[in-house]
Amino acid sequence: MVFVWYCGGMEQNRPVISRRNRPAKPPLTREGIVAKGLEILAAEGLSGLSLRRVATALDTGPASLYVYLPNLGALHAEMLDAALSAVTAPAVGPWRERLKAVLWRYMMVLIERPGLAPLALGTLASGPNSLRIWEMLLGLLQEGGVDAKSAAWGVDLLILYVTAIAAEQSLRSGGDLGPVEAALAQLSPTVYPLIFAARALLLSGGEERGHWALNVIIDGLVGPPDPGRTA
Amino acid sequence: MVFVWYCGGMEQNRPVISRRNRPAKPPLTREGIVAKGLEILAAEGLSGLSLRRVATALDTGPASLYVYLPNLGALHAEMLDAALSAVTAPAVGPWRERLKAVLWRYMMVLIERPGLAPLALGTLASGPNSLRIWEMLLGLLQEGGVDAKSAAWGVDLLILYVTAIAAEQSLRSGGDLGPVEAALAQLSPTVYPLIFAARALLLSGGEERGHWALNVIIDGLVGPPDPGRTA
DNA sequence: ATTCGTCAAGAACATTGTTCGTTAGCACAT
DNA sequence: ATGTGCTAACGAACAATGTTCTTGACGAAT
Protein backbone atom coordinates (compact mmCIF):
# COMPACT_ATOMS: atom_id res chain seq x y z
CA MET A 1 0.00 0.00 0.00
CA VAL A 2 1.39 3.35 -0.98
CA PHE A 3 0.85 6.30 1.25
CA VAL A 4 0.39 9.56 -0.50
CA TRP A 5 -0.20 12.57 1.65
CA TYR A 6 -0.34 15.38 -0.71
CA CYS A 7 -3.38 16.89 -2.01
CA GLY A 8 -4.17 19.29 -4.72
CA GLY A 9 -5.90 22.45 -3.82
CA MET A 10 -8.41 24.23 -5.94
CA GLU A 11 -6.91 27.62 -5.13
CA GLN A 12 -3.46 28.95 -5.97
CA ASN A 13 -3.10 27.48 -9.39
CA ARG A 14 -0.57 29.94 -10.82
CA PRO A 15 2.90 29.39 -9.35
CA VAL A 16 4.82 26.30 -8.49
CA ILE A 17 3.29 24.99 -5.36
CA SER A 18 4.45 22.82 -2.60
CA ARG A 19 1.74 20.37 -1.82
CA ARG A 20 3.07 19.54 1.57
CA ASN A 21 1.63 22.66 3.11
CA ARG A 22 -1.86 21.74 2.13
CA PRO A 23 -4.21 20.17 4.64
CA ALA A 24 -3.97 16.43 4.48
CA LYS A 25 -6.59 14.51 2.57
CA PRO A 26 -7.03 10.78 2.75
CA PRO A 27 -5.60 9.09 -0.32
CA LEU A 28 -8.02 7.98 -2.97
CA THR A 29 -9.00 4.35 -2.95
CA ARG A 30 -11.47 2.43 -5.01
CA GLU A 31 -13.40 1.55 -1.87
CA GLY A 32 -13.53 5.19 -0.86
CA ILE A 33 -14.80 6.23 -4.26
CA VAL A 34 -17.47 3.55 -4.22
CA ALA A 35 -18.51 4.48 -0.69
CA LYS A 36 -18.77 8.14 -1.61
CA GLY A 37 -20.81 7.18 -4.64
CA LEU A 38 -23.27 5.25 -2.51
CA GLU A 39 -23.43 8.20 -0.15
CA ILE A 40 -24.31 10.58 -2.93
CA LEU A 41 -26.78 8.10 -4.36
CA ALA A 42 -28.55 7.85 -1.03
CA ALA A 43 -28.65 11.62 -0.68
CA GLU A 44 -29.61 12.73 -4.17
CA GLY A 45 -30.80 9.73 -6.12
CA LEU A 46 -29.55 8.37 -9.39
CA SER A 47 -29.92 11.59 -11.33
CA GLY A 48 -27.72 13.37 -8.80
CA LEU A 49 -24.94 10.85 -9.20
CA SER A 50 -22.24 11.66 -11.69
CA LEU A 51 -18.55 11.07 -11.94
CA ARG A 52 -17.87 14.73 -11.46
CA ARG A 53 -20.13 14.90 -8.44
CA VAL A 54 -18.27 12.05 -6.79
CA ALA A 55 -14.98 13.68 -7.70
CA THR A 56 -15.85 17.06 -6.21
CA ALA A 57 -17.26 15.35 -3.12
CA LEU A 58 -13.83 13.77 -2.75
CA ASP A 59 -12.26 17.19 -3.33
CA THR A 60 -10.60 16.23 -6.57
CA GLY A 61 -11.12 16.39 -10.30
CA PRO A 62 -12.96 13.92 -12.50
CA ALA A 63 -9.81 12.61 -14.14
CA SER A 64 -8.45 11.35 -10.85
CA LEU A 65 -11.10 8.70 -10.58
CA TYR A 66 -10.00 7.11 -13.83
CA VAL A 67 -6.93 5.80 -12.07
CA TYR A 68 -9.18 3.45 -10.14
CA LEU A 69 -12.13 2.94 -12.46
CA PRO A 70 -12.18 2.37 -16.21
CA ASN A 71 -15.51 4.14 -16.67
CA LEU A 72 -18.77 5.11 -15.05
CA GLY A 73 -20.34 1.72 -15.61
CA ALA A 74 -17.63 0.12 -13.50
CA LEU A 75 -18.44 2.53 -10.69
CA HIS A 76 -22.08 1.56 -10.94
CA ALA A 77 -21.21 -2.13 -10.86
CA GLU A 78 -18.96 -1.70 -7.85
CA MET A 79 -21.56 0.34 -6.03
CA LEU A 80 -24.19 -2.30 -6.65
CA ASP A 81 -21.97 -5.12 -5.52
CA ALA A 82 -20.89 -3.21 -2.43
CA ALA A 83 -24.51 -2.65 -1.47
CA LEU A 84 -25.30 -6.31 -2.06
CA SER A 85 -22.89 -7.29 0.68
CA ALA A 86 -25.81 -6.72 3.05
CA VAL A 87 -27.71 -9.63 1.54
CA THR A 88 -26.86 -12.47 3.87
CA ALA A 89 -28.08 -16.04 4.10
CA PRO A 90 -30.56 -16.93 6.83
CA ALA A 91 -29.15 -19.82 8.81
CA VAL A 92 -32.17 -21.82 9.78
CA GLY A 93 -35.74 -22.47 8.74
CA PRO A 94 -37.51 -24.28 5.93
CA TRP A 95 -35.92 -23.73 2.55
CA ARG A 96 -38.92 -21.90 1.19
CA GLU A 97 -38.80 -19.36 4.00
CA ARG A 98 -35.07 -18.95 3.56
CA LEU A 99 -35.50 -18.42 -0.16
CA LYS A 100 -38.10 -15.78 0.42
CA ALA A 101 -35.97 -14.15 3.11
CA VAL A 102 -33.02 -13.83 0.77
CA LEU A 103 -35.15 -12.32 -1.96
CA TRP A 104 -36.80 -9.97 0.51
CA ARG A 105 -33.45 -8.83 1.80
CA TYR A 106 -32.24 -8.30 -1.76
CA MET A 107 -35.30 -6.23 -2.53
CA MET A 108 -34.96 -4.18 0.63
CA VAL A 109 -31.33 -3.38 -0.04
CA LEU A 110 -32.36 -1.93 -3.38
CA ILE A 111 -35.39 -0.13 -2.01
CA GLU A 112 -33.71 1.39 1.00
CA ARG A 113 -31.26 3.36 -1.11
CA PRO A 114 -33.06 5.62 -3.54
CA GLY A 115 -31.63 5.27 -6.98
CA LEU A 116 -29.90 1.98 -6.45
CA ALA A 117 -32.70 -0.05 -7.99
CA PRO A 118 -32.82 1.81 -11.33
CA LEU A 119 -29.05 1.65 -11.34
CA ALA A 120 -29.21 -2.10 -10.84
CA LEU A 121 -31.58 -2.46 -13.78
CA GLY A 122 -28.96 -1.13 -16.16
CA THR A 123 -25.98 -2.90 -14.67
CA LEU A 124 -24.73 -6.40 -15.20
CA ALA A 125 -23.85 -7.56 -11.74
CA SER A 126 -20.90 -9.92 -11.81
CA GLY A 127 -19.09 -8.95 -8.61
CA PRO A 128 -18.28 -11.29 -5.74
CA ASN A 129 -21.39 -10.46 -3.75
CA SER A 130 -23.55 -11.07 -6.78
CA LEU A 131 -21.91 -14.44 -7.34
CA ARG A 132 -22.32 -15.29 -3.68
CA ILE A 133 -26.05 -14.57 -3.87
CA TRP A 134 -26.36 -16.58 -7.08
CA GLU A 135 -24.70 -19.51 -5.36
CA MET A 136 -27.03 -19.11 -2.40
CA LEU A 137 -30.16 -19.04 -4.52
CA LEU A 138 -29.06 -21.98 -6.64
CA GLY A 139 -28.52 -23.98 -3.47
CA LEU A 140 -31.91 -23.08 -2.09
CA LEU A 141 -33.73 -23.98 -5.29
CA GLN A 142 -31.92 -27.29 -5.54
CA GLU A 143 -32.70 -27.94 -1.90
CA GLY A 144 -36.34 -27.40 -2.80
CA GLY A 145 -36.17 -30.05 -5.47
CA VAL A 146 -36.30 -27.74 -8.46
CA ASP A 147 -34.77 -29.32 -11.54
CA ALA A 148 -31.45 -28.03 -12.82
CA LYS A 149 -32.74 -26.06 -15.75
CA SER A 150 -35.53 -24.37 -13.81
CA ALA A 151 -33.07 -23.57 -11.06
CA ALA A 152 -30.53 -21.98 -13.40
CA TRP A 153 -33.10 -19.98 -15.30
CA GLY A 154 -35.01 -19.31 -12.10
CA VAL A 155 -32.16 -17.63 -10.29
CA ASP A 156 -31.73 -15.23 -13.15
CA LEU A 157 -35.46 -14.64 -13.22
CA LEU A 158 -35.77 -14.14 -9.48
CA ILE A 159 -33.05 -11.52 -9.33
CA LEU A 160 -34.42 -9.71 -12.34
CA TYR A 161 -37.90 -9.83 -10.86
CA VAL A 162 -36.86 -8.54 -7.47
CA THR A 163 -34.80 -5.78 -9.03
CA ALA A 164 -37.64 -4.64 -11.22
CA ILE A 165 -40.09 -4.63 -8.32
CA ALA A 166 -37.62 -2.64 -6.25
CA ALA A 167 -37.23 -0.09 -9.00
CA GLU A 168 -40.95 0.34 -9.19
CA GLN A 169 -41.43 0.37 -5.44
CA SER A 170 -38.67 2.88 -4.82
CA LEU A 171 -40.28 5.34 -7.15
CA ARG A 172 -43.71 4.68 -5.71
CA SER A 173 -42.55 5.67 -2.26
CA GLY A 174 -39.92 8.03 -3.53
CA GLY A 175 -42.01 10.97 -4.53
CA ASP A 176 -43.42 11.91 -7.88
CA LEU A 177 -46.29 9.58 -8.36
CA GLY A 178 -48.20 12.70 -9.26
CA PRO A 179 -48.42 12.13 -13.02
CA VAL A 180 -49.82 8.65 -12.49
CA GLU A 181 -52.44 9.86 -10.08
CA ALA A 182 -53.36 12.63 -12.47
CA ALA A 183 -53.65 10.21 -15.37
CA LEU A 184 -55.88 7.92 -13.33
CA ALA A 185 -58.00 10.80 -12.13
CA GLN A 186 -58.75 12.07 -15.62
CA LEU A 187 -59.58 8.59 -16.90
CA SER A 188 -62.76 8.14 -18.87
CA PRO A 189 -65.04 5.61 -17.13
CA THR A 190 -66.67 4.71 -20.42
CA VAL A 191 -63.54 4.10 -22.48
CA TYR A 192 -61.62 2.32 -19.74
CA PRO A 193 -64.23 0.95 -17.35
CA LEU A 194 -62.07 -1.76 -15.83
CA ILE A 195 -59.14 0.53 -15.11
CA PHE A 196 -61.52 3.08 -13.73
CA ALA A 197 -63.10 0.55 -11.41
CA ALA A 198 -59.73 -0.66 -10.23
CA ARG A 199 -58.07 2.72 -9.95
CA ALA A 200 -58.03 2.69 -6.16
CA LEU A 201 -56.51 -0.79 -5.99
CA LEU A 202 -53.90 0.00 -8.59
CA LEU A 203 -52.07 2.40 -6.30
CA SER A 204 -52.78 0.59 -3.06
CA GLY A 205 -50.56 -1.62 -1.01
CA GLY A 206 -47.27 -0.92 0.65
CA GLU A 207 -45.11 -3.60 2.12
CA GLU A 208 -47.92 -6.10 1.75
CA ARG A 209 -47.71 -5.71 -2.00
CA GLY A 210 -44.05 -6.65 -1.99
CA HIS A 211 -44.73 -9.83 -0.05
CA TRP A 212 -47.55 -10.66 -2.39
CA ALA A 213 -45.32 -10.21 -5.42
CA LEU A 214 -42.65 -12.44 -3.94
CA ASN A 215 -45.17 -15.15 -3.24
CA VAL A 216 -46.47 -14.94 -6.79
CA ILE A 217 -43.09 -15.60 -8.35
CA ILE A 218 -42.13 -18.30 -5.87
CA ASP A 219 -45.44 -20.05 -6.37
CA GLY A 220 -44.93 -19.85 -10.10
CA LEU A 221 -41.47 -21.27 -9.86
CA VAL A 222 -41.82 -24.04 -7.29
CA GLY A 223 -45.55 -24.42 -6.82
CA PRO A 224 -47.81 -23.38 -3.95
CA PRO A 225 -46.38 -23.92 -0.46
CA ASP A 226 -48.26 -26.54 1.47
CA PRO A 227 -50.78 -28.77 -0.21
CA GLY A 228 -48.86 -28.95 -3.46
CA ARG A 229 -46.31 -31.51 -4.37
CA THR A 230 -43.53 -32.09 -1.90
CA ALA A 231 -39.96 -32.84 -2.77
CA MET B 1 -47.66 2.44 -13.07
CA VAL B 2 -44.56 0.94 -14.22
CA PHE B 3 -41.53 3.07 -13.76
CA VAL B 4 -42.12 6.71 -13.94
CA TRP B 5 -39.02 8.34 -12.86
CA TYR B 6 -39.59 10.47 -15.72
CA CYS B 7 -43.08 10.95 -16.86
CA GLY B 8 -43.36 13.11 -19.85
CA GLY B 9 -46.77 14.46 -20.42
CA MET B 10 -48.50 13.14 -23.45
CA GLU B 11 -50.98 15.89 -23.14
CA GLN B 12 -50.39 18.75 -25.48
CA ASN B 13 -53.87 19.77 -26.32
CA ARG B 14 -53.26 22.70 -28.61
CA PRO B 15 -53.15 21.51 -32.21
CA VAL B 16 -50.02 22.64 -33.96
CA ILE B 17 -49.86 23.33 -37.66
CA SER B 18 -46.54 23.24 -39.36
CA ARG B 19 -45.38 25.90 -41.72
CA ARG B 20 -42.56 24.32 -43.60
CA ASN B 21 -44.50 23.62 -46.76
CA ARG B 22 -42.79 26.33 -48.68
CA PRO B 23 -39.12 25.36 -48.63
CA ALA B 24 -39.73 21.87 -50.03
CA LYS B 25 -39.11 20.34 -46.67
CA PRO B 26 -41.90 18.16 -45.28
CA PRO B 27 -43.63 19.88 -42.40
CA LEU B 28 -42.80 18.78 -38.91
CA THR B 29 -45.43 16.79 -37.09
CA ARG B 30 -45.39 15.02 -33.80
CA GLU B 31 -46.10 11.74 -35.54
CA GLY B 32 -43.24 12.31 -37.93
CA ILE B 33 -40.85 13.05 -35.11
CA VAL B 34 -41.94 9.94 -33.24
CA ALA B 35 -41.63 7.82 -36.37
CA LYS B 36 -38.16 9.13 -37.06
CA GLY B 37 -37.23 8.45 -33.47
CA LEU B 38 -38.35 4.83 -33.78
CA GLU B 39 -36.44 4.59 -37.02
CA ILE B 40 -33.23 5.81 -35.40
CA LEU B 41 -33.84 3.57 -32.40
CA ALA B 42 -34.14 0.54 -34.65
CA ALA B 43 -31.01 1.49 -36.54
CA GLU B 44 -28.68 2.57 -33.76
CA GLY B 45 -30.14 1.46 -30.46
CA LEU B 46 -31.00 3.52 -27.44
CA SER B 47 -27.57 5.05 -27.04
CA GLY B 48 -27.73 6.34 -30.59
CA LEU B 49 -31.02 8.08 -29.99
CA SER B 50 -30.86 11.68 -28.96
CA LEU B 51 -32.97 14.72 -29.54
CA ARG B 52 -30.29 16.25 -31.70
CA ARG B 53 -29.96 13.12 -33.78
CA VAL B 54 -33.67 13.05 -34.46
CA ALA B 55 -33.52 16.74 -35.29
CA THR B 56 -30.68 16.43 -37.77
CA ALA B 57 -32.35 13.39 -39.30
CA LEU B 58 -35.34 15.64 -39.89
CA ASP B 59 -33.05 18.31 -41.30
CA THR B 60 -33.68 20.84 -38.58
CA GLY B 61 -32.25 22.03 -35.30
CA PRO B 62 -32.90 20.61 -31.86
CA ALA B 63 -34.97 23.58 -30.75
CA SER B 64 -37.56 22.92 -33.41
CA LEU B 65 -38.69 19.71 -31.78
CA TYR B 66 -39.64 21.55 -28.63
CA VAL B 67 -42.60 22.99 -30.43
CA TYR B 68 -44.12 19.51 -30.56
CA LEU B 69 -42.63 17.87 -27.49
CA PRO B 70 -42.06 19.30 -24.02
CA ASN B 71 -38.92 17.26 -23.47
CA LEU B 72 -37.07 14.08 -24.31
CA GLY B 73 -39.10 11.98 -21.89
CA ALA B 74 -42.23 12.84 -23.80
CA LEU B 75 -40.60 11.65 -27.01
CA HIS B 76 -39.71 8.39 -25.32
CA ALA B 77 -43.25 7.97 -24.04
CA GLU B 78 -44.73 8.65 -27.46
CA MET B 79 -42.32 6.26 -29.12
CA LEU B 80 -43.18 3.53 -26.65
CA ASP B 81 -46.88 4.03 -27.04
CA ALA B 82 -46.63 4.10 -30.80
CA ALA B 83 -44.77 0.80 -30.77
CA LEU B 84 -47.34 -0.69 -28.40
CA SER B 85 -50.03 -0.21 -31.02
CA ALA B 86 -48.87 -3.56 -32.40
CA VAL B 87 -50.07 -5.36 -29.27
CA THR B 88 -53.51 -6.51 -30.26
CA ALA B 89 -56.07 -8.69 -28.55
CA PRO B 90 -56.48 -12.26 -29.75
CA ALA B 91 -60.12 -12.77 -30.57
CA VAL B 92 -60.75 -16.37 -29.67
CA GLY B 93 -59.41 -19.12 -27.48
CA PRO B 94 -59.38 -19.92 -23.79
CA TRP B 95 -58.66 -16.90 -21.63
CA ARG B 96 -55.40 -18.30 -20.38
CA GLU B 97 -54.05 -18.67 -23.89
CA ARG B 98 -55.24 -15.20 -24.80
CA LEU B 99 -53.57 -13.77 -21.72
CA LYS B 100 -50.32 -15.42 -22.60
CA ALA B 101 -50.62 -14.33 -26.22
CA VAL B 102 -51.01 -10.70 -25.22
CA LEU B 103 -48.02 -10.84 -22.92
CA TRP B 104 -45.97 -12.62 -25.54
CA ARG B 105 -46.85 -10.02 -28.12
CA TYR B 106 -45.96 -7.26 -25.67
CA MET B 107 -42.61 -8.84 -24.98
CA MET B 108 -41.88 -9.39 -28.66
CA VAL B 109 -42.66 -5.80 -29.53
CA LEU B 110 -40.05 -4.70 -27.01
CA ILE B 111 -37.51 -7.31 -28.03
CA GLU B 112 -37.83 -6.89 -31.78
CA ARG B 113 -36.75 -3.26 -31.72
CA PRO B 114 -33.31 -2.90 -30.20
CA GLY B 115 -33.31 -0.26 -27.51
CA LEU B 116 -37.03 -0.08 -27.00
CA ALA B 117 -37.01 -2.33 -23.95
CA PRO B 118 -34.49 -0.31 -21.93
CA LEU B 119 -36.36 2.76 -23.00
CA ALA B 120 -39.57 1.25 -21.68
CA LEU B 121 -37.93 0.60 -18.33
CA GLY B 122 -37.43 4.30 -17.78
CA THR B 123 -40.66 5.54 -19.24
CA LEU B 124 -44.16 5.57 -17.96
CA ALA B 125 -46.42 4.47 -20.74
CA SER B 126 -49.63 6.31 -20.05
CA GLY B 127 -50.64 6.73 -23.66
CA PRO B 128 -53.78 5.33 -25.25
CA ASN B 129 -52.19 2.07 -26.34
CA SER B 130 -50.87 1.43 -22.87
CA LEU B 131 -54.26 2.08 -21.34
CA ARG B 132 -55.84 -0.17 -23.92
CA ILE B 133 -53.51 -3.01 -22.99
CA TRP B 134 -54.15 -2.44 -19.30
CA GLU B 135 -57.85 -2.66 -19.94
CA MET B 136 -57.34 -5.83 -21.96
CA LEU B 137 -55.26 -7.52 -19.28
CA LEU B 138 -57.65 -6.52 -16.52
CA GLY B 139 -60.49 -8.05 -18.49
CA LEU B 140 -58.60 -11.27 -19.11
CA LEU B 141 -57.66 -11.69 -15.46
CA GLN B 142 -61.21 -11.03 -14.34
CA GLU B 143 -62.45 -13.47 -16.94
CA GLY B 144 -60.13 -16.00 -15.36
CA GLY B 145 -61.71 -15.49 -11.99
CA VAL B 146 -58.84 -13.65 -10.39
CA ASP B 147 -60.01 -11.49 -7.49
CA ALA B 148 -60.02 -7.74 -7.89
CA LYS B 149 -56.93 -6.98 -5.86
CA SER B 150 -54.82 -9.67 -7.48
CA ALA B 151 -56.01 -8.51 -10.88
CA ALA B 152 -55.13 -4.89 -10.26
CA TRP B 153 -51.76 -5.65 -8.77
CA GLY B 154 -51.25 -8.43 -11.28
CA VAL B 155 -51.58 -6.27 -14.37
CA ASP B 156 -48.94 -3.95 -13.03
CA LEU B 157 -46.78 -6.92 -12.18
CA LEU B 158 -47.23 -8.63 -15.55
CA ILE B 159 -46.27 -5.56 -17.56
CA LEU B 160 -43.33 -4.88 -15.31
CA TYR B 161 -42.29 -8.50 -15.66
CA VAL B 162 -42.38 -8.74 -19.42
CA THR B 163 -40.70 -5.36 -19.75
CA ALA B 164 -37.88 -6.40 -17.46
CA ILE B 165 -37.45 -9.70 -19.30
CA ALA B 166 -37.33 -7.89 -22.61
CA ALA B 167 -34.81 -5.41 -21.28
CA GLU B 168 -32.60 -8.16 -20.00
CA GLN B 169 -32.90 -10.01 -23.26
CA SER B 170 -31.86 -6.97 -25.25
CA LEU B 171 -29.04 -6.35 -22.82
CA ARG B 172 -27.99 -9.95 -23.33
CA SER B 173 -28.18 -10.06 -27.08
CA GLY B 174 -27.52 -6.49 -28.04
CA GLY B 175 -24.71 -5.37 -25.87
CA ASP B 176 -21.63 -6.82 -24.34
CA LEU B 177 -22.19 -10.01 -22.46
CA GLY B 178 -18.45 -9.90 -22.06
CA PRO B 179 -18.20 -9.29 -18.32
CA VAL B 180 -20.63 -12.06 -17.51
CA GLU B 181 -19.04 -14.59 -19.80
CA ALA B 182 -15.63 -13.67 -18.50
CA ALA B 183 -16.81 -13.98 -14.93
CA LEU B 184 -18.34 -17.36 -15.68
CA ALA B 185 -15.24 -18.57 -17.49
CA GLN B 186 -12.86 -17.62 -14.71
CA LEU B 187 -15.17 -18.96 -12.04
CA SER B 188 -13.61 -21.00 -9.28
CA PRO B 189 -15.29 -24.44 -9.09
CA THR B 190 -14.45 -24.67 -5.41
CA VAL B 191 -15.78 -21.28 -4.31
CA TYR B 192 -18.89 -21.35 -6.48
CA PRO B 193 -19.55 -25.02 -7.23
CA LEU B 194 -23.24 -24.63 -8.00
CA ILE B 195 -22.78 -21.75 -10.42
CA PHE B 196 -19.92 -23.63 -12.00
CA ALA B 197 -22.05 -26.70 -12.49
CA ALA B 198 -24.90 -24.68 -13.94
CA ARG B 199 -22.82 -22.32 -16.06
CA ALA B 200 -23.90 -23.88 -19.33
CA LEU B 201 -27.58 -23.71 -18.41
CA LEU B 202 -27.35 -20.14 -17.19
CA LEU B 203 -26.73 -18.75 -20.64
CA SER B 204 -28.83 -21.26 -22.52
CA GLY B 205 -32.29 -20.96 -23.93
CA GLY B 206 -33.67 -18.71 -26.59
CA GLU B 207 -37.33 -18.39 -27.34
CA GLU B 208 -38.09 -21.37 -25.14
CA ARG B 209 -36.82 -19.45 -22.15
CA GLY B 210 -39.25 -16.63 -22.79
CA HIS B 211 -42.20 -19.03 -22.91
CA TRP B 212 -41.00 -20.67 -19.75
CA ALA B 213 -40.76 -17.32 -17.98
CA LEU B 214 -44.26 -16.37 -19.03
CA ASN B 215 -45.66 -19.65 -17.77
CA VAL B 216 -43.91 -19.13 -14.45
CA ILE B 217 -45.52 -15.78 -13.79
CA ILE B 218 -48.94 -16.86 -15.00
CA ASP B 219 -48.81 -19.99 -12.88
CA GLY B 220 -47.84 -17.88 -9.91
CA LEU B 221 -50.64 -15.46 -10.49
CA VAL B 222 -53.56 -17.71 -11.40
CA GLY B 223 -52.36 -21.18 -10.54
CA PRO B 224 -51.32 -24.07 -12.79
CA PRO B 225 -53.37 -24.48 -15.94
CA ASP B 226 -55.48 -27.58 -15.91
CA PRO B 227 -56.06 -29.57 -12.76
CA GLY B 228 -55.90 -26.54 -10.50
CA ARG B 229 -58.80 -24.69 -9.06
CA THR B 230 -61.44 -23.44 -11.41
CA ALA B 231 -63.43 -20.30 -10.99
C1' DA C 1 21.79 12.02 -7.72
C1' DT C 2 19.32 10.29 -11.32
C1' DT C 3 15.72 7.66 -13.21
C1' DC C 4 11.31 5.67 -13.27
C1' DG C 5 6.71 4.42 -12.30
C1' DT C 6 2.46 5.93 -10.25
C1' DC C 7 -1.13 8.82 -8.35
C1' DA C 8 -3.27 13.18 -8.86
C1' DA C 9 -4.92 17.14 -11.22
C1' DG C 10 -5.97 20.78 -14.67
C1' DA C 11 -7.59 21.58 -19.01
C1' DA C 12 -9.87 20.40 -22.90
C1' DC C 13 -13.16 17.75 -26.13
C1' DA C 14 -17.27 16.00 -27.89
C1' DT C 15 -22.03 15.31 -26.68
C1' DT C 16 -26.06 15.79 -24.30
C1' DG C 17 -30.87 18.21 -23.05
C1' DT C 18 -32.81 22.54 -22.80
C1' DT C 19 -33.73 27.63 -23.14
C1' DC C 20 -33.43 32.34 -25.14
C1' DG C 21 -34.18 35.47 -28.58
C1' DT C 22 -35.23 36.28 -33.33
C1' DT C 23 -37.22 35.60 -37.86
C1' DA C 24 -40.69 34.77 -41.02
C1' DG C 25 -44.97 33.50 -42.70
C1' DC C 26 -50.04 33.15 -41.89
C1' DA C 27 -54.88 34.90 -40.18
C1' DC C 28 -57.52 38.49 -39.20
C1' DA C 29 -59.08 43.32 -37.86
C1' DT C 30 -58.88 47.77 -39.52
C1' DA D 1 -53.93 47.50 -48.76
C1' DT D 2 -52.09 47.98 -44.22
C1' DG D 3 -50.98 46.81 -39.85
C1' DT D 4 -51.12 43.69 -35.75
C1' DG D 5 -50.62 39.54 -33.36
C1' DC D 6 -49.62 34.71 -33.19
C1' DT D 7 -46.55 31.04 -33.65
C1' DA D 8 -43.70 27.46 -36.14
C1' DA D 9 -38.88 27.24 -37.04
C1' DC D 10 -34.34 28.13 -36.22
C1' DG D 11 -29.52 29.67 -34.74
C1' DA D 12 -26.97 30.30 -30.91
C1' DA D 13 -25.84 29.63 -26.46
C1' DC D 14 -25.71 27.38 -21.70
C1' DA D 15 -24.81 24.13 -18.28
C1' DA D 16 -23.68 19.53 -17.43
C1' DT D 17 -22.04 15.04 -18.72
C1' DG D 18 -18.25 11.15 -19.58
C1' DT D 19 -13.77 10.72 -21.14
C1' DT D 20 -8.95 11.66 -22.64
C1' DC D 21 -4.55 14.28 -22.97
C1' DT D 22 -1.01 16.13 -20.75
C1' DT D 23 1.54 17.68 -17.05
C1' DG D 24 3.37 17.54 -12.58
C1' DA D 25 4.84 15.91 -8.02
C1' DC D 26 6.08 12.48 -5.07
C1' DG D 27 8.23 7.70 -3.41
C1' DA D 28 11.18 4.18 -4.47
C1' DA D 29 14.65 1.86 -6.97
C1' DT D 30 19.02 2.24 -9.25
Same domain, A28 and A120: no
| A9 part of a folded domain | no
Q: A190 and A115 in one domain?
A: yes
- Check which CATH number belongs to the domain holding A57 and give it: 1.10.10.60
Question: pLDDT tens digits for A33-66?
Answer: 999 999 999 999 999 999 999 999 999 999 999 9
* A96 and A64 belong to one structural domain: no
Residue B40 lies in a domain: no
User: Residue A46: its chain B contacts at CB < 8 A?
Assistant: 5
Please answer yes or no on whether B212 and A124 come within 8 Å at the CB atom.
Answer: no
**B63 assigned to some structural domain:** no
Q: Do B213 and A153 touch (CB under 8 A)?
A: yes
- Across the interface, whether the CB atoms of A176 and B7 are under 8 A apart is answered yes
Does B9 map to a domain?
Answer: no
CA angle B160, B161, B166 (to 5 degrees): 100
Looking at the fold, whether A117 and A183 belong to one and the same domain comes out as yes
Within-domain flag for B105: yes
Same domain for A50 and A93? no
Is residue B110 included in any domain, yes or no? yes
CB B195 within 8 A of CB B187: yes
Please check the confidence at residue B33 and state whether its pLDDT lies above 70: yes
Residue A15 pLDDT: 34
Domains of chain A: total: 2
What are A80-97's pLDDT values in tens digits? 999 999 999 888 889 999
Q: Looking at residue A40, what is its pLDDT?
A: 96
Are A185 and A127 within one domain? Answer: yes
What span, in angstroms and rounded, lies between the C-alpha atoms of A7 and B104?
Answer: 57
Q: Is residue B167 one of the residues assigned to a domain?
A: yes
Cβ of residue B62 lies below 7 Å from strand D: yes
- Residue A64: helix, strand or coil by DSSP? helix
More confident residue, B223 or A55: A55
As a whole number of angstroms, the distance between CA A210 and CA A97 comes to: 15
Question: B107-141, pLDDT tens digit by residue?
Answer: 999 999 989 999 999 888 788 999 999 999 999 99
Q: Is there a contact between B135 and A192 (Cβ–Cβ < 8 Å)?
A: yes
Residue A116 forms part of a structural domain: yes
Same domain? For A100 and A205 the reply is: yes
Alpha helices in A62-147, H assignment, sequence order? 62-65, 72-83, 95-112, 116-121, 128-143
Residue B80 confidence (pLDDT) above 50: yes
**Chain B: closest CA distance from residue A28 (Å):** 25
Query: Does one domain contain both A59 and A101?
Result: no
Segment A18-29, tens digit of pLDDT: 343 344 567 789
| Structural domain that includes position A56 | 19-69
Please give the nucleotide, over all strands, whose C1' is closest to the CA of residue A19.
D25
Looking up residue A218, the CATH number of its domain turns out to be 1.10.357.10
Nearest protein residue to nucleotide C16, judged by CA and C1' positions: B50
d(C-alpha B125, C-alpha B7), whole Å: 8
Separation of A16 CA and D24 C1' (Å): 10
